Amino acid sequence: MNELHRQALALPRQPGVYIMKDAQNNIIYIGKAKALKNRVSQYFGSDAGQSEKVRRMVSKVERFEYIVTDNEFEALVLECSLIKQYSPKYNILLKDDKGYRYIRISPPPFPQISVALQKREDGSRYLGPYISGYVVKEAVDEANRIFQLPVCGRALGAGRKERPCLNFYIHRCCAPCSGKVSEEEYNERVEQAIEFLTRGSVEVLSSLTRQMNEAAENLEFEKAARLRDRINAIKKLGEKQKVVRSKVKNQDVIALARSGKGIFFEIFRFKKG
């Protein structure tokens, strides 16, 4: 049993994100896991069943780090944020491996957000790739629910006057198929949903709160109420998830550890919580 495998077996069986680094301390791969111990130890045990690309990546790993999260959805958002920030080499090289999923935003007008198995040249915008199809679907479902975006597959477009489906009456859809929402407002909802999926709830809450206050000041009370409902939905979701809870939104944290003659430092920078 090699040293990395031993370290992996000591990880907690909790959801989180793991960060693989090479001998030069470069981040070469970032992934998420339902159970960190189970997922990370798979890399450093037997390589049976691993693709050549994965074996090549594992051979370059010198050390790894991890961040524990409260649930898989939070791990997905964090993974997406870190991959976007660092663009690790093997996240790019491994993106075509079987099992990856994408978040697809169909072309305008009235784009819809869904889960895709492959990235196609169809004019859509794609986010990802992500490993867990289940968690990606859960994230997309939450975004569509909070921002009341359609999931029924009906044709959408300006001037359409179909009868709304049940989702409209239970406040799960804004019913663009029946002209209940303008194209401008619909596109605003979609962009907020994308921001929620890629940047997490903190950024979106700040933006929505600002828009709600502006709407109230302009006496646009219906718009302010809609924004309030979205804010409350995100806050309810946030009660189940957190990476860091702190009264200090912007903070630098320095961690120090001693091992034999060596001293190790890690610097964490927290912005907006």
Q: Where are the alpha helices (DSSP H) in the chain?
A: 3-9, 36-44, 52-60, 72-86, 89-93, 133-146, 166-169, 183-199, 201-217, 221-238
CATH code of the region 3-97: 3.40.1440.10
Per-residue pLDDT at 63? 94
pLDDT tens track for 200-250: 666 778 888 888 999 899 888 888 888 888 788 777 655 444 444 444 456
Instruction: List all residues 6 or more positions away from 119 whose beta carbon is below 8 Å from its beta carbon.
Output: 102, 126, 128, 129
Q: What is the DSSP letter of 268?
A: E
8 Å CB contact between 46 and 6? no
Alpha-carbon gap, residue 14 to 33, rounded angstroms: 8
> Which tokens belong to 254?
């320095």
Helix (H, G, I), strand (E, B) or coil at 254: strand
Whether 85 has a pLDDT exceeding 80, the answer reads yes
Helix (H, G, I), strand (E, B) or coil at 134: helix
What is the band of 260 on the pLDDT scale with cuts at 50, 70, 90?
low
Mean pLDDT computed over every residue of the chain: 81
Number of CB atoms found within 10 A of residue 4's CB: 19
Look at 212 and 256; give whichever has higher pLDDT.
212
> Which tokens belong to 137?
């679907």
Alpha-carbon gap, residue 93 to 89, rounded angstroms: 6
How many Cα neighbours within 13 Å face the side chain of 231? 15
Sheet with 27-33, strands from edge to edge, namely 27-33, 16-21, 63-68
Whether 270 has a pLDDT exceeding 70, the answer reads no
pTM of the model: 0.51
Length of the chain as a residue count: 273
Per-residue pLDDT at 247? 47
**DSSP characters for 61-74?**
--EEEEEE-SSHHH
ω before 129 within 30° of 0 (cis)?
yes
Q: What is the DSSP letter of 258?
A: E
pLDDT tens track for 148-169: 999 887 777 666 677 888 888 8
Alpha-carbon gap, residue 90 to 30, rounded angstroms: 8
Alpha-carbon gap, residue 268 to 270, rounded angstroms: 6
| Radius of gyration of the chain measured on its C-alpha atoms | 21
- The identity of residue 250, as a single letter, is N
Whether 177 has a pLDDT exceeding 60, the answer reads yes
Alpha-carbon gap, residue 273 to 202, rounded angstroms: 7
Domain boundaries, the chain: 3-97, 101-199
